[in-house]
Amino acid sequence: MRMSGGDRQRGLSVPALVATALLAHDLPSSTEQERLEAAHYVDDSVAALPDVTRAGVRLASAAVYVALSAMARAPYRRVDPQRQSELAATLAGVPLPILGEFSRLTRGLGLVGVFEHRNRALAP
């Protein structure tokens, strides 16, 4: 049985969810598997942050999720993946410090996750 995009996204954290949406927008050649690997990389990276920094990322996650849900006029997780991608890209361009920094953080971690997935064969 194949899971729908919403079913796969249900377990993702907000940083991972935003990262996958930004990757779909910024790197359309990325596969669903690469984006899922990147989501796990983002979650692992956030979990490795010091407690205070991780708490800040979680607070920013809440603000970002509220902003994305307000833009979507529905809970962001329930929006179709194409629309999620468009909304995340729009929010990334907003010149507000918390929202912009959060987008840069998740985009950067997501790109590293895809790069590592694609270049696993090169690792010693």
Alpha-carbon distance 86 to 32, whole Å? 17
pLDDT single digits (tens) 45-73: 999 999 999 999 999 999 999 999 999 99
Output the pLDDT for position 2.
Answer: 34
Q: Cα separation of 28 and 121, whole Å?
A: 22
Asked whether the beta carbons of 117 and 37 are under 8 A apart, the reply is yes
Would you call 1 exposed, middle or buried from its count of C-beta atoms within 10 A (0-12, 13-18, 19+)?
exposed
**pLDDT single digits (tens) 68-111:** 999 999 999 999 999 999 999 999 999 988 998 999 999 999 99
